[in-house]
Amino acid sequence: RSAMEAAAGPSRLRVGFVGAGRMAEAIAQGLIRAGKVDAKQVLASAPTDRNLCHFRALGCQTTHSNQEVLQSCSLVIFATKPQVLPAVLKEVAPVVTAEHVLVSVAAGVSLSTLEELLPPNTRVLRVSPNLPCIVQEGAMVMARGRHAGSNEAKLLQNLLEACGQCEEVPEAYVDIHTGLSGSGVAFVCTFSEALAEGAIKMGMPSALAHRIAAQTLLGTAKLLQQEGQHPAQLRTDVLTPAGTTIYGLHALEQGGLRAATMSAVEAATCRAKELSRK
């Protein structure tokens, strides 16, 4: 059965993972929880048992053989470290067939590199996930290779929406997504921590301040998504003349928050591009 035929009945679709780290586990967990795939239809490979135990706990099949994953599954997600991926692709290339749809989540490995390392006409897609996939709130983008059509893109998008939001983009956006959303998780954590520390400074207990800061981020993000508004509009709704918020915003502007954040995304994107070139 090809991945496309299996898409008609998700419970019958066999999904393989080559590499069993946190991102692979997060995607597998999302697919299983959303009922897109049966746990027993998932096969994961890794060189040691260290990470495979997490897959076994989910009820998945595991192996130490990368080739076995491709021989058993038509849709295979490669979630190895980027520097390991070329060797892994060369190893599995002899068992890749026209039935396969291969997906890479390795940062910085281009579609053209993936296609060069695999047999001609292999259907390849690239996905850039981020850590919140672990709680099914990921922000993902995907780009398709030369031989992957809209059917493959739809199949993958449908599956990955179990882990959050997934949008198809030109490959040129993937490095920007890494800077905005991959690294952005750390930027947002830094801001959340600073928010809480401001409250701690003013006398609020630490644990409470951190809980409220995190909930403030969550609530604001939901408002932005549901209202579909530009952030500036929402911000204006909170501002009252001579009120608390405008005093706080003035302090943020004096600290150069916007410029620092834009520079952070730029620096992370440039680094992602640099790593891609290597």
Q: How remote is the C-alpha of 85 from its chain's centroid?
A: 17
Numbered residues of the known binding site: 66, 79-82
71-121 confidence digits (pLDDT tens): 999 999 999 999 999 999 999 999 999 999 999 999 889 999 999 999 999
pLDDT band for 7, please (50, 70, 90 cuts): very low
Cβ(126)–Cβ(153) below 8 Å: no
144-186 confidence digits (pLDDT tens): 999 999 999 999 999 999 999 999 999 999 999 999 999 999 9
Numbered residues of the known binding site for NADPH: 66
Q: Which residues contact 250 (CB under 8 A, 6 or more apart)?
A: none
pLDDT band for 64, please (50, 70, 90 cuts): very high
202-214 confidence digits (pLDDT tens): 999 999 999 999 9
Numbered residues of the known binding site for NADP(+): 79-82
Radius of gyration of the CA atoms of the chain, in A: 21
* Ordered structural domains, the chain, with CATH: 3-171 (3.40.50.720), 182-277 (1.10.3730.10)
CA separation for the pair 150, 221 (Å, rounded): 30
**Which class for 118: exposed (0-12), middle (13-18), buried (19 or more C-beta within 10 A)?**
buried
Q: What are phi and psi of 71, to 5 degrees?
A: -75, -20
% of the chain at pLDDT higher than 70: 96
The closest alpha carbon to 11, from 40, 37, 46, 48, belongs to: 37
Please give the angle made by the CA atoms of 226, 156 and 10, to the nearest 5 degrees. 100
- The model's pTM is 0.87
